[in-house]
Every structure is written in C-alpha cells, then in structure tokens.
C-alpha cells in the first residue's frame, strides 16, 4: 500500500507539472536533436532523385528554422550563443544544398526524365506498400523502352549533351540501378508471384540503364584528354553563397588578391633561400632540393623522425598541450600506386598515409614520386598531418564540444594545419636554406590552391590549365600537379576546400595576433582554446574567444584587412 501511495503522489506531481510551460531546449540539445532527426530521415527517404525526400527534409529544416527565430538568445552564455548562430548557418546551408540538388536533377530531365517510376517504386517500398507484380512489371517495361529511346537520342550527333551533364547523368543512373536492385531483391525469392512477373522486366530494365550509362560515359570522354581533370564548376553565385556559410565576407576576386599578396612573401623568401644555396633562382633551388630524398624503403624512418622532432619542438617551447595518448596512438601506412594518382603527397590524421614510389610504378612515375616526397618537403608535411596538425585536431574533436560535429569546416581543419606550417617557419623548425625552400614550396602551393580552385569554379580555367599553373607557378612535378587537380575536382571535396588551407591559416594568424599579441594570452592558452572549440568557422572561434557579448548579428570579420 505504501508503494502504491508513493506512485500516486508521483503521478499527481507529474500531472501538476505538465501544466507548466517547458523551457525551450538549449542550443546543444537542438543541435543533437536535429542531427539525429536528419540522419533518421536520410535513412528513411533514400530513393535517388526523390522529390518526396527533399520535401520531407525541407519540412524538418523549416521547422528548425522557425523555432530558431523564436529561440531565446540574450540569456545564453557566449558559447551557447555561438552554437545558436552556427545552427542557424547549418540549417540555411542544408536548405540551400537541397535547392542546388533539385536544380541539378532538373537539368538532367532531358536525359533521365523516364526514371521517375524507379524512384516511385523505391519510395513505395519504404512506405511498406504492397506490390502489384503485374503493374510493377509494366512500369519496368516502360522504363526499359524509354531508356532505349534515350540511348538512341544521345547517340545522334546533333543531340549529344555536354560532357558535364553526361557525367552527372551517369552518376545518377548508377544510384538508380543500385536502388532498383535493392527494391527487386527485397521480394525476389520470397514472393513467387513477384518473381514470375517482375524478374524478366527487371533484367531488361537494368541492362537498358547500364547501356545508357556506358554511352554517357563514352560521350563524357569523347572530348579527349584526361577526363578525371574535367570537374564540374559551380559558378560565382554558388561560390559567394558558400563563402557566406563559412562566415567569410570576401568576394572570390578579393580572395585571389589575398593569395597573390601571400605569394609575394613566399617569392621573396624563396629568393633569399635560393641565394643561400648558391642557386640562380627559385627554380634551380627547388630542383636541387628535390634530389635530396631517401632511398627506397627508408621513407617510414624519415617520417617517424620528423614526427618526433615536431613534438619535441613544441614541448620545448611550451606551445600547446600534448596529451600523452595523442603522442602514443598515431599510426603509419603507405599509399598504393593507384591512391597516389589522386594523392601524390601525404594524407593524415590518426594514421599518416605516406606517398613514396612503389615497385609497380613506371620508371618516370618513380622518379617524380621521389622528387615530390623529398626530405625537405616532408619537414612541413609530417607535422601538418600528425602533431600539431590533423591528428591532434581529431584527438581534440573527440573530446571537446562533440555536438558541433555537423558544423565541420576545412577552414578550421586545414587552416589549423597550415597555420602551424607558417608558425613553425617563423619559429625556426628548419635546418638550413634547403628546409626553408621545402617549407616555402608548400606555402606557395596553398596560395596557388586559392587561385586555381576559384578560377576553375568561376568557369575561367579548365582542369588542364590548373595543372599547368601548378607546374609553372609552384614547381610541381607533372604527376603531382595532375594528382592535386584531380583530387580537387573529383567531387569528393567541397568547392572551397582547396582555398581553405591558406585562408583558414590567415584567419588563425590574425586571431593569434589579437589574443596573443594584443591581449597577452600565452601561445599555449591560445592554441588549446582553438582546439577546444572544435571544427567551426574561424570567425565563430573568434567570437567565442574574444570575450564580451556575442551579438545576435555579428559584424563581418575582414581578417585579411588587419
């Protein structure tokens, strides 16, 4: 009886409390809830080219946008205010990406307008609707017939679509074929009526889609040259929109001018180092430096030693907190020949991926890989990838403000690693002019990334022109230049990713001058504080660290004008 009375009392208390208005969720709770909802919706609405999917995602994002307009701001702590501003940016970006996706799919309608029944079948399956096998067979037969007609159209000389549309359409066809296969296999073997009606039409349809995709790839490659260097420019309006989402108040033209200013510094420093090496100019100095590489089999020991050197350098100067586990838990692996076609240099994080010639490479490939991964280039790239660079970032991300994961940006990720390249150069992590040439080579490369990537997405340069620019302006080996451009234009990176290295580094350098140079912070305090903010736009890091009130409408930060 006593236990029952307690339960009654608790029930009465809960009922009384239910009449009280609940406090609005704090920003962290909002971020985590939206992230979970979007992940669930993406799993549930996974049909390619689905208007239903876009509508449902827009509904959830619009709901969040409306709630954010009413969310309290003035009573929040500084970090919470920053979270709210980041969430608003994130929602706006997600909505813009849905609009861009819809626009791209609409542009494919002349090529793929017949595929709507495939999307509809996949959507119906996710709604757990019953299948009428004969009706499904008729729909697939119609798709196969229209796919054959589309194939005949694109093969006509006068109606051949432009290569970029062919590439996009081929990518969507692959997604549609995969989704249709999953739809078919869900019932095949379990439903005798389904198999009897649908098996043959499905096979015919899949073959027709495959033939159309093969032809679209052939048309995309018909222009000659290396098609992996073609890419898909997004245009000036989209570039400016992406810059806004990164809280960067500059035009593409202004960013190119910033890159040229940084180039001038690098050129001047490179000339001094070339003179110290007894070389006539920077090209001669670079050629000399490239010949100083480890013999086959010895690159892992070089990487190990350079990693330990960077850690000791940081600890001796007390520049940043280095947790023992971070120093203990990084690993190393070697990049394959194929991987080096897109990544001719290091990749990093918890595991550093080392580029070096493999025995399967052609002779010229081996020589270029040796020169591209010489000892003096490595002095900058190892600490960029490991400590204090990407591995230390990843270690910190897993332990600080983890709810900010959806806001990840290359301006923080790559900008931090590039900032340290600049800081290590200033502090003297080099052993003579050859090392300075190697470190400046990378700095020039990051200037060039701004110039070539923005010019490409503005539609002014082609992929091959970007390759020639890297060879001429930076001194890349041709294979390395092609790998860099191929990586940039492959679609696996955002349009601002390559520009983010130098620009993010310049943002952090400007913030360091404010906090260390003007407010008297120690370097260790500054660096630890940046890591603790997790991966967000650097302007948001600045709001969180400067102190004082975080305004509801932050003033755009012209970091390069300081």
Q: What confidence score (pLDDT) does residue 90 get?
A: 98
Q: CA 392 to CA 382: how far, in whole Å?
A: 12
| Mean pLDDT of all residues in 166-188 | 96
3-state secondary structure of 305: helix
Task: Could you list the beta-strand ranges (E) of 285-399.
Answer: 331-334, 351-354
Paired strand residues for 321: none
Q: 224-241 burial string, b = 16+ CB within 10 Å, else e?
A: eeeebbbbbbbebeebee
pLDDT above 70 (res 119): yes
What percent of the chain lies above the pLDDT cut of 90? Answer: 74
Which of 108, 104, 202, 205 has its CA nearest to residue 147? 205
Q: What confidence score (pLDDT) does residue 340 get?
A: 66
3-state secondary structure of 393: helix
| Mean pLDDT of all residues in 203-229 | 87
233-238, Cβ contacts within 8 angstroms, sequence gap of 24 or more: 233/456, 233/457, 233/458, 233/459, 234/457, 234/495, 235/457, 235/458, 235/459, 236/458, 236/459, 238/100, 238/457, 238/495
Q: CA 12 to CA 10: how far, in whole Å?
A: 5
More confident: 225 or 234: 234
Q: What confidence score (pLDDT) does residue 466 get?
A: 94
Q: What confidence score (pLDDT) does residue 452 get?
A: 95
- In sequence order, which residues have a C-beta less than 8 Å from that of residue 149 and are 6 or more positions away? 114
Q: What confidence score (pLDDT) does residue 7 get?
A: 33
pLDDT in tens, 446-460: 999 999 999 999 999
Q: What confidence score (pLDDT) does residue 348 get?
A: 73
Average pLDDT, the chain: 90
More confident: 361 or 307: 307
What percent of the chain lies above the pLDDT cut of 70? Answer: 93
**For the ranges 184-193, 316-325, 366-375, which has the lowest average pLDDT?**
366-375
Which of 132, 283, 255, 252 has its CA nearest to residue 196? 132
pLDDT above 80 (res 355): no
**For the ranges 68-82, 332-346, 513-527, which has the lowest average pLDDT?**
332-346
Q: Name the burial class of residue 295, with classes exposed (0-12), middle (13-18) and buried (19+) by CB atoms within 10 angstroms of its CB.
A: exposed
Q: CA 93 to CA 407: how far, in whole Å?
A: 10
pLDDT above 60 (res 436): yes
Most confident of 31-45, 293-307, 347-361: 31-45
Q: What confidence score (pLDDT) does residue 344 get?
A: 62
pLDDT above 80 (res 358): no
Read off the pTM.
0.90
More confident: 476 or 534: 534
pLDDT in tens, 192-214: 999 999 999 999 999 999 999 99
| Mean pLDDT of all residues in 53-58 | 98
Backbone angles phi, psi at 83, to 5 degrees: -55, -45
- In sequence order, which residues have a C-beta less than 8 Å from that of residue 112 and are 6 or more positions away? 49, 150, 169, 172, 173, 176
Q: What confidence score (pLDDT) does residue 339 get?
A: 66
Which of 229, 405, 386 has its CA nearest to residue 304? 386
Paired strand residues for 347: 353
pLDDT above 60 (res 273): yes
Q: What confidence score (pLDDT) does residue 327 get?
A: 96
Query: Residue 224: pLDDT band by 50, 70, 90 thresholds?
Result: low
Backbone angles phi, psi at 332, to 5 degrees: -140, 145
């Amino acid at each position: 009886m006593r236990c029952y009375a307690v339960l009654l009392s608790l029930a009465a208390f809960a009922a009384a409390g239910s009449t009280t208005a609940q406090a609005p969720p704090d920003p962290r709770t909002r971020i985590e809830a939206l992230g979970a909802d979007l992940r669930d919706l993406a799993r549930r609405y996974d049909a390619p080219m689905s208007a239903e999917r876009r509508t449902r995602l827009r509904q959830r994002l619009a709901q969040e946008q409306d709630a954010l307009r009413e969310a309290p701001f003035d009573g929040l702590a500084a970090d919470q205010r920053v979270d709210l501003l980041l969430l608003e940016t994130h929602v706006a970006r997600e909505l813009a990406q849905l609009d861009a996706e819809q626009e791209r799919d609409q542009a494919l309608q002349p090529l793929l307008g017949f595929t709507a029944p495939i999307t509809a079948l996949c959507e119906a399956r996710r709604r757990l609707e019953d299948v009428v096998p004969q009706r499904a067979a008729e729909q697939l037969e119609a798709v196969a017939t229209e796919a054959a007609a589309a194939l005949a159209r694109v093969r006509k000389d006068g109606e051949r679509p432009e290569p970029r549309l062919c590439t996009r359409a081929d990518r969507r066809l692959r997604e549609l074929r995969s989704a249709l296969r999953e739809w078919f296999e869900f019932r095949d073997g379990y439903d005798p009526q389904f198999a009897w009606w649908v098996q043959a039409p499905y096979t015919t349809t899949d073959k027709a889609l495959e033939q159309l995709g093969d032809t679209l790839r052939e048309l995309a490659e018909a222009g000659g040259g290396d098609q992996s260097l073609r890419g898909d420019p997004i245009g000036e309006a989209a570039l400016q929109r992406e810059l806004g989402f990164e809280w960067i108040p500059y035009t593409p033209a202004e960013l190119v001018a910033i890159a040229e200013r940084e180039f001038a510094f690098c050129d001047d420093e490179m000339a001094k180092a070339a003179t110290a090496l007894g070389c006539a100019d920077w090209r001669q100095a670079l050629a000399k430096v490239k010949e100083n590489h480890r013999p086959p089999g010895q690159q892992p020991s070089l990487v190990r030693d350079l990693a330990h050197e960077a850690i000791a350098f940081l600890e001796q100067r007390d520049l940043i907190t280095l947790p023992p586990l971070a120093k203990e838990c990084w690993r190393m692996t070697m990049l394959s020949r194929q991987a080096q076609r897109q990544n001719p240099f290091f990749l990093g994080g918890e595991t550093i991926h080392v580029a070096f010639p493999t025995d399967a490479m052609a002779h010229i490939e081996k020589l270029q890989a040796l020169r591209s991964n010489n000892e003096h280039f490595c002095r900058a790239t190892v600490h960029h990838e490991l400590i204090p660079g990407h591995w230390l970032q990843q270690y910190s991300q897993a332990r600080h403000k983890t709810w900010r994961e959806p806001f990840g940006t290359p301006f923080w990720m790559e900008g931090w690693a590039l900032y340290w390249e600049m800081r290590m150069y200033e502090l003297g992590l080099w052993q003579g002019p050859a090392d300075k040439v190697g470190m400046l080579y990378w700095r020039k490369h990051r200037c060039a990334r701004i110039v070539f990537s923005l010019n490409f997405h503005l539609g002014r340069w082609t992929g091959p022109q970007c390759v020639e620019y890297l060879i001429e302006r930076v001194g890349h080996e041709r294979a390395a230049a092609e790998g860099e451009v191929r990586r940039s234009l492959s679609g696996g990176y955002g349009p601002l990713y390559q520009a983010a290295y130098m620009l993010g580094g310049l943002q952090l350098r400007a913030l360091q001058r404010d906090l260390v140079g003007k407010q008297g912070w120690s370097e260790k305090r500054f660096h630890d504080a940046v890591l603790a903010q997790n991966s967000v736009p650097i302007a948001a890091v600045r709001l969180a660290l400067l102190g004082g009130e975080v305004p509801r409408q932050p003033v755009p930060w012209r970091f390069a004008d300081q």
